[in-house]
Amino acid sequence: MIVRRKGGLTEFIPTPQEKRDGLIRDHALGLMENLHQRLARLERTSKLPAAEAEAFTALLARMRADESRNLELNASLITSDTASG
């Protein structure tokens, strides 16, 4: 994080690495889901067993639920900080 101070104002600027990490974090789950759907379609077409695809579908659902909880928690922490600040 780059910190720039001007007068009484402090500005926090993310570094390029932090921007990349945030972009990856924000889109990784969607990319994995897209890849999973494509592979599952290939597996169905090839008549391969669906057990592993179903297990990964359950894992993706759990990851989505965890991510939703994390976003809600983060939002509640932000609103509680602004309310008390």
In the numeric block, which tokens belong to residue 2? Answer: 């780059």
Q: How many domains, the chain?
A: 1
E strand or H helix at 1: none
Give 56's contacts (C-beta < 8 A, 6+ positions apart).
Answer: 36
Give CA–CA dist 33/59, Å, rounded.
10
pTM over 0.85: no
Query: For 7-35, what is the mean pLDDT?
Result: 87
pLDDT band at 13 (very low <50, low <70, confident <90, very high): confident
43 vs 8, residue with greater confidence = 43
pLDDT for 28-76, tens place per residue?
A: 889 999 999 999 999 999 999 989 999 999 999 999 999 899 889 988 9
Angle, CA of 17, 79 and 25, to the nearest 5°: 25
Full domain range(s) for residue 63: 2-84
Residue 82 has pLDDT above 80, yes or no: no
In degrees and rounded to multiples of 5, residue 15 shows phi and psi of: -75, 165
